[in-house]
Structure 1
Amino acid sequence: MAGPGSTRERVTGQEASRGGSVRLDDVAVRFRTKKKDVTALRDVSLDVAEGEFVAIVGPSGCGKSTLLKLVAGLLKPSSGDVRLREEPVTGPRHDIGYVFQRAALLEWRSARRNILLQAEMRRMPADRARERTAELIAMTGLTGFEDAYPHELSGGMQQRVALCRALLHEPPVLLMDEPFGALDALTREQLNIELNRIWRETRTTVLLVTHSIAEAAYLANRIVVMTDRPGTIAEVIDVDLPDERDYATTMARPEFARATGRIRDLLGAASAAD
């Protein structure tokens, strides 16, 4: 567990041997409005190893989603440096996957064809796209619903389709911005379990923004806790749990309690619900 106020977590040992996947060095983001200048992020430095799962938590408006946009190249930093797999991020990246809070599926396309939209946009070879779609449908438990339209799918199934779409081109980095925030508690738990399994099978590097302390601790290798705006990193917490995590057993482990307790201490949320 990094000390309070730490803004950098360097990769060592086995993680270093895998190489860096995402790196931010002293990044700041400032916006100018009609009335004033607003600093969304300041002094943000973070290294994420290849194949690592990192969750980002913090107060609303602290810049969590802004951080993902920086990595995706959808937003340029006002200062500092952003790198993806050792390359400077200078514009929109096509080698990432992005999952948002809303599935944003096309209502006139079936689940399969919504997934294949990614292939059409990227001009993937048709045979490989169909093969990969079939793999992902099986992996996410959508078998039998391939030809269903969005209005025929539950919210959880729609998010599974969105996840398949984001993973179709086998991106080395997957960005997830509150993907399960609008779901009921039981569906969210089920998708947490599925996401842990998919991450273990694919070893895609994942950056997950979430407001759920329990979700962050269940899914992540490390948790980045951010301060209120202007957002900076208060602490990076190591989650000392095995990669394969049974849900009920994990929730009862002392390592889980230590991680969630520390997050609540940092956020001043000891009495708040997840």
Structure 2
Amino acid sequence: MARETTVREPAVQLDKDERQTAAVGLADVAVRFRTKNRDVTALERVSLDVAPGEFVAIVGPSGCGKSTLLKLVAGLLKPSAGDVRLAGEQVRGPRHDIGYVFQRAALLEWRSARRNILLQAEMRRMPGTTARRRVDELIAMTGLGGFEDAYPHELSGGMQQRVALCRALLHEPPVLLMDEPFGALDALTREQMNVELNRIWRETGTTVLLVTHSISEACYLADRVVVMSPRPGTITEIIEVGLPAERNYTDTMGRPEFREATSHIRHLLGAASAAD
């Protein structure tokens, strides 16, 4: 049975010291824009603080502003109202200290896996020795050993996303933003990538903010799941998943905490009978 629905007040603020220590902080944020025919409010009164090293997933209906929220954190979009901060510093423009992974790997077809990862180093002008050592570490961490010289057309979709993940992690960003990164993968590969991402998150200690349409993916990966309302997007509730950091995929699916969290989120989204 789903838990009774409760609504989290979106404007609740942490005190000044707590906000200064948050890896990501959004305070009473709104995004409004003008289309040809009307004014549109994408986000309204969104407040969220993410602790260093925490994994937070964001779910909600299509068009509720999930990706917009990530763009705010990345500094690719300015809020119409409210405050966005990274490690206590106000976000005023594009941030170069974060990592970003999109649904498509967006690899350069004429570059090998290794050289696609090193593109990040070239753009950031990282020292060559440091960059190459970091690439070797990431290739080993993501199971790409033996495929570092393969070109994108020689890699499966899952391997391409591993390359994209390596590229995003090359400069050891304190915050990793992921926008539906596994949405285009088949179900089995997606499960495998979920397991890999959980392991990589535990090994790196990176703060992760993940947008996904999959409720089970959100609950398997995250410490907390943010449930968004239809547009204008607000935070309906934040769910504490209550699972240990290290998670065996099959065992996790059967745990009562997992079943309770997924059931409650489906209830909140009005999708109790729908598949992820």
Q: What TM-score bracket applies, with the shorter chain setting the length?
A: over 0.9
Residue in structure 2 matching 1:39, options 33, 38, 41: 41
Change over 3 Å in CA distance of 1:207–1:9 after alignment to 2: farther
Partner of 2:239: 237
Equivalent pairs counted in the alignment come to 271
Equivalent residue of 1:120, what SS? helix
1:7 is displaced (CA, Å) by 1.5
TM-score scaled by length of structure 1 = 0.96
Partner of 1:4: 7
- CA distance in 1 between counterparts of 2:272 and 2:133 reads 47
Equivalent residue of 2:176, what SS? strand
- Check conservation: 2:220, 2:252, Cα contact below 8 A: yes
1:11 is displaced (CA, Å) by 7.2
1:233 is displaced (CA, Å) by 0.2
- Check conservation: 1:62, 1:227, Cα contact below 8 A: yes
Structure 1: segments with no counterpart, 5+ residues = none
- CA distance in 1 between counterparts of 2:11 and 2:163 reads 35
Q: Which 4+ runs in 1 deviate beyond 2 A?
A: 8-12, 16-19
- CA distance in 2 between counterparts of 1:24 and 1:218 reads 24
TM-score scaled by length of structure 2 = 0.95
Equivalent residue of 2:23, what SS? strand
Matching residue's letter, 2:127:
P
- Check conservation: 2:226, 2:235, Cα contact below 8 A: yes
- Check conservation: 1:225, 1:234, Cα contact below 8 A: yes
- Check conservation: 1:58, 1:227, Cα contact below 8 A: yes
Change over 3 Å in CA distance of 1:243–1:18 after alignment to 2: farther
1:220 is displaced (CA, Å) by 0.1
Percent pairwise identity: 78
Partner of 1:226: 228
1:132 is displaced (CA, Å) by 0.2
Partner of 1:126: 128
Residue in structure 1 matching 2:153, options 151, 155, 164: 151
Partner of 1:50: 52
User: CA deviation digits over 1:129-181, x for unaligned, max 9?
Assistant: 00000000000000000000000000000000000000000000000000000
- Residue pairs, 1:183-262, within 5 angstroms: 183-262=185-264
Structure 2: segments with no counterpart, 5+ residues = none
- Residue pairs, 1:68-83, within 5 angstroms: 68-83=70-85
Matching residue's letter, 2:71:
K
Change over 3 Å in CA distance of 1:38–1:263 after alignment to 2: same
- Check conservation: 1:101, 1:179, Cα contact below 8 A: yes
- CA distance in 1 between counterparts of 2:14 and 2:154 reads 45
- CA distance in 2 between counterparts of 1:244 and 1:191 reads 15
- CA distance in 2 between counterparts of 1:268 and 1:237 reads 16
Partner of 2:89: 87
Partner of 1:65: 67
- CA distance in 2 between counterparts of 1:44 and 1:143 reads 42
1:4 is displaced (CA, Å) by 1.5
Matching residue's letter, 1:4:
V
- CA distance in 1 between counterparts of 2:135 and 2:14 reads 34
Change over 3 Å in CA distance of 1:137–1:18 after alignment to 2: farther
- CA distance in 2 between counterparts of 1:121 and 1:17 reads 31
- Check conservation: 1:224, 1:237, Cα contact below 8 A: yes
